[in-house]
Structure 1
Amino acid sequence: MADDADASTTTEERVEETPAQRGDTDADDGYSWGGRLSPENLVSWIDPETYPLPEFGEDPREHGSRVPVEIEREYPVEPDRVLAVGLVLLLVGMAGSVALSLVGVSIPPPIQSGITAGLWVFAVLYLVAAVVWLFNLALGWQSGEPPIEYGADDVQVRILTVDATGTVQRTIDHLPDSLTDRHVIAESDIDVTGATVHVVPESFECVATNKGRALEWARRNVPCDREYVLYLDEDTLVTEFDGLPDADLVQFREWPMKTDSWWTYWAEILRMGFQLEQLGYAEATIPLYSWGGGLAVRKSVEDTITWDFDTLIEDTVFMWFAVENGASFEVVETRFRNQSPLSLTEMFDQRRRWLVGTIRSEEYLPLGHQILLTVRNVVWGFSPILLVLTFPLAVSPLELPILEPLRAVTWVLLVLAAVWVVAGVRYYDYRAQALPVLVLSPLVIFLHAVGALWGFLFPPQTFHTTPKSADTDSTE
């Protein structure tokens, strides 16, 4: 176990005072701290998503979730959405040109050149996203598992919830006995055993909202003499804990379990295969995303960065700010169980929320990372269109120049998708219930991206938490 005093000194040297604490509105590195996203423009989104836990063997539909939280919301025009609309117009133009060619109508050369150029732009976007993913994966392969330096005695556990008593109790019950410093941060008073419950008072005000507000209140008011705070969502089941490496932020991996829908479960398997790139994030300048349902934060870094900023994706934005200010980031192979969405409808809405939340927070990043996230968002949202076009493009006898870029990209996407699917099945130890995704992967990829495309083209006027239920256990 590392020496606490030395670790604290190292952290203070590593993490500088943030622009927010200095009172600056603009940081020297080009992004504006707190001035780009205002509280009145944010969605009232409470995460983590809750589900009431039935007894093993009971029908989960007997246990209704809370009424979703909703709020009216208007969206500004964002670069991601402008690019998405442009690509839709491009695909419509391509389809029209092909249709005209089939009936013998010649396409004016300027229009054909414009569509071909646009499709090459489309192809480059996909290839850039593929190269970035492969690069992160290569970094992960080269870097080994970081050594464990801190044990359970150095960790305080904080479980975030609104008022999901049964869900939180099960999460507490799954904590290893070695994790003794346990706290629940709730919006309403709940009765659980095995942890101290803290209720965020309604009178508490800060810049952050919803989950970020609860995190910030806990940071200020919950005593902690441990080196780390391990944050868990209310549905996170910790089945093993081997300790923490000497890093300022430590990301645990997810293991989504099946709930009521096979399709959402298989989509999560695909997502876990894609998230293999997280293993390379320890070497990245700024990791692109994190999972707040299993995130350990060095307490001194938390107090330096704070959670007091406006965003829908507080875990990822906190990580961005911390790393930009010099904090170290590690990913460990330990996997915590969580829940896959209850239905396809809920998954679509969840993915749409993730995409819009990312779009609304991109400006917290330096320009290069904003551009990279924009490209990745568009690639994710438009992958269904390419998958739909793959078979017709492969068998089409037409040899039109305007089709060649799209034809090449569809095959690149298919190869990468196959890698993600196989990697996801391997991540699940080749369990029998994961194997059907190998055959159904085109449809699963399509379903996984529908919510993102939906968010691009039709941003919702309301947001709500996704209800969940479960009859699965951590032994899955």
Structure 2
Amino acid sequence: MPLRADDWVLHLDEETQMDAYSLRACIDFIERQADADLGQGIIHYNAHDFWHAVLPTVGDISRVQDDYGRVAWQTNWARRASLGVHGSFLLLSGRVENAVGWETDVLTEDYWFCWSAMRRGFRIGLVPAIAREVSPRNLKDYSRQRRRWFTGIRAMGRPVGKLTLVLWCWRLLKPMYWAMSWHTTNQDARMPRWFFVSQLLCPVIERVFCAFGILVQDYDAGLTWSSMLMSQLLSLPMNMLLQFVDSYGIVAALLFPEKGFYIIAKS
């Protein structure tokens, strides 16, 4: 499209739901910001049939955590996005659209677009509002979605992307690590107890942020307090399972990369 430098395009997925507040936030971002060519908003996965597919819903909690953590920090303070952006609720100026374009064979085209824009010196800002989407409807689609992401990130060959995949694989080995650490500490005494105790902080912090991700989505969806408590209890046993599913997606992407887009069901 023949976009002008002062044109703006709001990218949305097919099921993304906006409201009056999020639209006003986009307009305000366009009118008031002075040093950003990209704007990224927060996404919740509670548009409709929330908690209908329990496992994918729990799995997408990590994406909400990421939005309130890494995404908010890099858009508010760093003004750089090292690990990509969402392809949805993404506000782009005509200047960056024209300079980068969307012609790519990479399966994670939003990750590729962000990386290309950052290389050209464009800066990103936060659109302080929420859009709402839907999680995949079953575990198969959830796993294939992740497998495509990881295939695309790996295909780009960036060191930070490869590091991300390694850290995600660690989620698969972490439960085994804790089991061995506990045995080593109590039986062979090869690991200092202070080190083992300090490592316990990691799952505690992870659990706190997981609880936060559940709370903000449940509250935003208007759930009752009893339902919100049930959500927290459901996530406890299922979060560990989803770590294995995510790690399986990485291993599958390494051994059997996706060849193209796989259309997943969200309704």
TM-score class, shorter-chain normalisation, is 0.7 to 0.9
In the alignment, which of 366, 373, 386 is matched to residue 174 of structure 2? 386
Shift in Å at residue 318 of structure 1?
1.6
Rate the CA distance shift 1:435–1:389 in 2: closer, same or farther, 3 A. same
Identity %: 20
In the alignment, which of 459, 467, 476 is matched to residue 256 of structure 2? 459
- d(CA) in 2 for partners of 1:459 and 1:414? 30
TM-score (ref. length: structure 1): 0.45
Shift in Å at residue 361 of structure 1?
1.4
Residue 375 of structure 1 corresponds to: 163
- d(CA) in 2 for partners of 1:341 and 1:409? 36
In the alignment, which of 415, 419, 427 is matched to residue 208 of structure 2? 419
Does 2:38 correspond to 1:241?
no
User: What is the root-mean-square deviation of aligned Cα atoms in Å?
Assistant: 3.0
- On the 8 A contact 1:268/1:340 being kept in 2, the answer is yes
- On the 8 A contact 1:305/1:321 being kept in 2, the answer is yes
- On the 8 A contact 2:153/2:162 being kept in 1, the answer is no
Rate the CA distance shift 1:281–1:461 in 2: closer, same or farther, 3 A. closer
Residue 149 of structure 2 corresponds to: 354
- On the 8 A contact 2:40/2:85 being kept in 1, the answer is yes
Between structure 1 and structure 2, the one with the greater Rg is 1
- On the 8 A contact 2:106/2:152 being kept in 1, the answer is yes
Rate the CA distance shift 1:410–1:228 in 2: closer, same or farther, 3 A. same
In the alignment, which of 299, 307, 314 is matched to residue 102 of structure 2? 307
Q: 1:37-436 counterparts in 2 under 5 A?
A: 219-220=1-2, 227-239=7-19, 240-244=22-26, 245=29, 246=33, 247-257=36-46, 258=50, 260-275=52-67, 276-282=69-75, 283-363=78-158, 370=159, 372-391=160-179, 393-395=181-183, 397-399=186-188, 401=190, 411-430=200-219, 431=223, 432=228, 434-436=231-233
- On the 8 A contact 2:11/2:88 being kept in 1, the answer is yes
Show CA shifts across 1:312-358 (max 9, x none): 22222222222222222012231111121111121112111111111
- d(CA) in 2 for partners of 1:294 and 1:336? 7
Amino acid at match of 2:241: L
Shift in Å at residue 295 of structure 1?
0.7
Rate the CA distance shift 1:326–1:460 in 2: closer, same or farther, 3 A. closer
Shift in Å at residue 451 of structure 1?
1.7
Rate the CA distance shift 1:462–1:260 in 2: closer, same or farther, 3 A. farther
- On the 8 A contact 1:254/1:337 being kept in 2, the answer is yes
Residue 266 of structure 2 corresponds to: 469
Instruction: Give SS of 1:277's match.
Output: helix
Instruction: Give SS of 1:292's match.
Output: coil
- d(CA) in 1 for partners of 2:70 and 2:197? 24
- On the 8 A contact 1:252/1:332 being kept in 2, the answer is yes
Residue 192 of structure 1 corresponds to: none
Rate the CA distance shift 1:344–1:394 in 2: closer, same or farther, 3 A. same
Runs of at least 5 residues in structure 1 that lack an aligned partner in the other structure: 1-218, 364-369, 471-476
- On the 8 A contact 1:236/1:338 being kept in 2, the answer is yes
- d(CA) in 1 for partners of 2:257 and 2:97? 32
Amino acid at match of 1:394: W
- d(CA) in 1 for partners of 2:94 and 2:217? 33
Shift in Å at residue 228 of structure 1?
0.6
Residue 114 of structure 1 corresponds to: none
Runs of at least 5 residues in structure 2 that lack an aligned partner in the other structure: none
- d(CA) in 1 for partners of 2:243 and 2:161? 19
Aligned length: 241
419-428 or 460-469, which moves further after superposition? 460-469
- d(CA) in 2 for partners of 1:409 and 1:452? 28
Rate the CA distance shift 1:285–1:248 in 2: closer, same or farther, 3 A. closer
Show CA shifts across 1:95-142 (max 9, x none): xxxxxxxxxxxxxxxxxxxxxxxxxxxxxxxxxxxxxxxxxxxxxxxx
Q: Which has the higher helix share?
A: 2
Rate the CA distance shift 1:402–1:356 in 2: closer, same or farther, 3 A. farther
- d(CA) in 2 for partners of 1:356 and 1:403? 39
- d(CA) in 2 for partners of 1:349 and 1:290? 19
